[in-house]
Structures are given as C-alpha cells and as structure tokens.
Structure 1
Amino acid sequence: MRVISYGGGVQSTALLVLAAQRKIDFLTFLFANVGDESEHPATLAYVREIAAAYAGRHGIAMHELHRQRRDGSIETLWERLHEPRLRSIPIPIRMDNGAPGRRSCTSDFKIKVVAKWLKERGATPRNPAVVGVGISLDEIHRANKRRCEPYEQIDYPLLDLALRRDDCVQIITTAGLPVPPKSACFFCPFKTVAAWRHQRRYEPELFEKSVQLEAVLNEKRAMLGRDAAYLTRYGVPLDRAIQAIPERPEHLDSGCDSGWCGS
C-alpha cells in the first residue's frame, strides 16, 4: 500500500501532479481534515473543487478523512478546543515567554486518522504502508521530525527528486492548476505576524474567531489556575498584539503544506 499524506498546499499538490504524470508511484492521496470549522476555508475549497477533480481525471483516488469517536460521529479540532472539560490544550498555544506549548493536534487529527485508515486496510508492522510526505529540499531539516509509526514507512518523493518549493510551484502551474493557498488551521499559533496581519486585514471574520478562541482558551486556563497563553509570541491578546507590532516585510510561511503540521 502506497499513499500520500495530502495537506492541500504547494508541496503535496506538486506530488499530486507528479503522481498524475506517473513520475512517482502513488495513486492514493489521503487528506486528513481536522474539521470544516478548523481548516482554512480556502484550503477546503481547493482540495474539494480543484485537487479532487484533478485526481479523478488522472485515475488517482483521493480520500477525505476525519477523526471519529467510538460511536462513529466526527470529532473536530474546533469542538475539542471548546470542550467544557478541556484540561489540556491540543494546539501549540504560546506561553508568556513566546515558546509554544505541547500539542496533540497533529497526532490526534492527522497522524492517527491516517493510521486508522491504513490499519483498516491491512497495514501492519510486518507489512507497513509506504506514506509519502511532501517535504521539499529547502526544508529538509523537517524530514527527521516526522513521527514514524510501526505500520508505516515514510517516503520523501520531493527529496528524492531534489525539488524545492519553487520547483513545486512551477510543476503545479505547468499542469494548468492554480497554486494552492498556504495550508493550515486558520487559528494556528505557528502563524507569523505577517500571516496574522493578513488575516486581520483580508479575513476579518476568521480573525475575530481566532480572537474569540484565544479568549475561550484563557478562560479555561484561568479556571484551572494556570497563567494566560496566547496565539502569538508577544504575551498579549491577539487583537492587541497584531495592532501593536510595527509592520515590516515578513513571509507568510506557516502551515502544513506537506500533509502534516510543521513549525
């Protein structure tokens, strides 16, 4: 079994094009959706309206996966963050010193979701599935951070082909596809200040939801007797942080284009 962990961003969409061209040996793509109210709307639109259609035209199976509870209902990251009895925050919310806290969102809503799908279809430690991840040459340092489970063997097709992110953009545009937006939860604490500023200016509804989420999480922390934590590294609430930080050129890079979340 050979699958691509598809994130809906540039690197993993380049893998989709390469698979369509039969330049890599993968015909199954798995998109682990952490929740329609958690994923960026532009990413969901790209995956469902562009990538899935392209995959279908080229004989590639694309599956959208969700985390399921024992009763079969879908659990989303947004729901968990608003769980009344929440004691551990699953996203890497930042402490007063700016350092991100521990997170379980990637494991629970991406890695384990893909794992369940693979194991249900026969992947075992003795017969592992090959899971392709879209890490490009310019971010090779991320390759050894990918957690590897006993039932899977991680593969890096972009590294094997010595492709960089710019190469991935060229592959996508040459295939006649629009370049996908940066893939990440819209409230991810790994966002850069530029990305937050962009959200505040051009996606005010999402920014307001991020502000409200930060407030909800801090209400929960206060009830547990814990210090406040934030979605940025500046130690103040999001709306104040983005309003106060001087504008300067900064990349929007932050996300999980490769198919799993990165920092």
Structure 2
Amino acid sequence: MVSYGGGVQSTALLVLAARREIDYRTFLFANVGNDSEHPATLAYVRDVALPFAAAKGIQLESLERRRRDGTSETLLQRLSRPELRSIPIPVRMANGAPGRRSCTADFKIRVVGRWLREHGATAGTPATVAIGISVDEIHRANRRRREPHEEIDYPLLDMGLRRSDCERLISEAGLPVPPKSSCFFCPFKTVEAWRQQRAADPELFAKSVKVEELVNQRRASLGRDPVYLSRFGRPLREAIAAPGPAASGDEDDGVCDAGWCMT
C-alpha cells in the first residue's frame, strides 16, 4: 500500500499506480482530524483524489485514530486535553529548535499500522509500504525506520523523480497540483508558508494562533517556559508579518523527517 498524504509526491504515486507503472492498488490516507489537517488538503482528497482513484479502480481509504473504546481522536483534541503534559507536535523552543514530537507516530504510522495488521500484515509477512519521497528530499528516506509488520519502499527514488517531475505527472493526468500537505498549525511550516497563511487565510491563521496560545496555557499551568509554532521565539501573531520577499533561510526551516507527513 501507499501512505497517501494528499500532497504532491503521494499524488504522483497515485497517478503512477493508475498508469500501472508501479504495482500499488491500495492507498491509505491517515487523516489526523478534520479540525487539524489543512482544509485545502482535505478538499483535495475529497474532491480530486478519491474520485480519480475510484475511476481507476484504486482503493483509497481515509483512516482516523481510534481510542481503545472505539471513539475517534484528532490531533487538535489531543492538544486540547486539560491533563496534557507532553506536547505531541514539534513546537519550537526559545532558540528556534523543534522539540520532540509524537504526532506522526500516533496519528499516521500507528493508524496505518493498525489497518495493516487488521488486513493480515505480520512480522513474518510484512506489508510493503510506499512513501512519497522524491529525489530532492532524499535526506528524508530511511528504510531502517520501520515497524515490524512493514517493509518501506520509495518508488519515486527508485524512478529518479523530483518534485517537479511529480507535478508534471499530476498535470499530465488532468489533475490540479495539490498544495503542500500538513496540519495547518504544523511548526515545521516555513516562514513564508506562515506569511501566506496569514495573508490568504486570516481565519485559519487565527486558529493557528489559538493553538499556540492553548499549548502555552497548558505549559504555564505546569510552570514551564513558553514554546512557539515558528522559529522566531515569539508568539505567532507577533512573529509573522504580512507576505513579502522570502528572507534567507525561509525555505528550509525544517521538515518532518519520517516521510509520512508533507507528501
């Protein structure tokens, strides 16, 4: 199966599967929550990817995290829990460095892993899981980082495809190129992406500000220093100005290195 992120690289894998150039017929989208995923990604999956997959005979399923009692949980709900002591997203410390995170493991990898085990994957008969990492992001690839029930595959690397190649494949299939996928409040977002969010979608930016404030309310109650969603060591509302020319370093703030997000 393919870990489908709703972005450029994994949508290129969907096109390649439709063209029978890769042998994958099952795509799994681990939705971290309709209140947490970027609305543009959710719209793309719903309005573009799902109809395309159905027309090509490809199984594209949307999965969500389930608690032991069977109820669903979103990442934003996790962040909002009053008893929260550890922060699941890679918030920035005062020096700009990202902290530890569990969001990818809990809301992507384990959600997909549960589906795989329910469908027969074991340590003895692991599932092959394709990740959408292109050549220009080869530093994100690590076949050793895997669960016992899976084997990791990187078809785009094997085919020597870059992000620009992925965009071309998508356009050739008659599909719009998807936006970069991630949670709308992801601290790995570049400075320019934050600026664009503030300018193009002020309501969504206001929600991001509230997420940062919520996290810091929890930390203040525990006597801990504040953390931030951008690398500037200041509250998001103060740190992110209106869009302008990208400053040096804006394009490489950081990226999720697991490959399960931002693809």
TM-score (norm 2): 0.94
Deviation at 1:99, TM superposition (A): 0.5
| Counterparts of 1:217 and 1:224, CA distance in 2 | 11
- Aligned residue for 2:141, secondary structure, equals helix
Equivalent residues in 2 for 1:1-263, closer than 5 Å: 3-144=1-142, 147-243=145-241, 247-248=245-246, 250-251=250-251, 260-261=260-261
More displaced 10-residue stretch of structure 1: 26-35 or 69-78: 69-78
- Aligned residue for 1:62, secondary structure, equals strand
| Counterparts of 1:146 and 1:188, CA distance in 2 | 25
Deviation at 1:259, TM superposition (A): 6.1
RMSD of aligned residue pairs (Cα, Å): 2.2
More displaced 10-residue stretch of structure 1: 201-210 or 241-250: 241-250
Structure 1 gap ranges (5+):
none
The 1:154–1:60 alpha-carbon spacing in structure 2 relative to 1, beyond 3 Å, is: same
Kindly indicate whether the alpha-carbon contact (under 8 Å) linking 1:93 and 1:100 is maintained by their aligned counterparts in 2: yes
Kindly indicate whether the alpha-carbon contact (under 8 Å) linking 1:130 and 1:155 is maintained by their aligned counterparts in 2: yes
Render the CA deviation track for 1:101-135: whole Å, top value 9, x for unaligned. Answer: 10000000000000000001110000000000011
Deviation at 1:145, TM superposition (A): 7.4
The 1:59–1:165 alpha-carbon spacing in structure 2 relative to 1, beyond 3 Å, is: same
Render the CA deviation track for 1:8-67: whole Å, top value 9, x for unaligned. Answer: 000000000000000000000000000001001110010011101000001100010000
Aligned length: 261
Structure 2 gap ranges (5+):
none
Kindly indicate whether the alpha-carbon contact (under 8 Å) linking 1:184 and 1:255 is maintained by their aligned counterparts in 2: no
| Counterparts of 1:82 and 1:246, CA distance in 2 | 33
Render the CA deviation track for 1:151-188: whole Å, top value 9, x for unaligned. Answer: 10000000111111100000000010000011000000
Instruction: Report runs of 4+ in structure 1 exceeding 6 Å deviation.
Output: 252-256
Paired-residue identity, %: 65
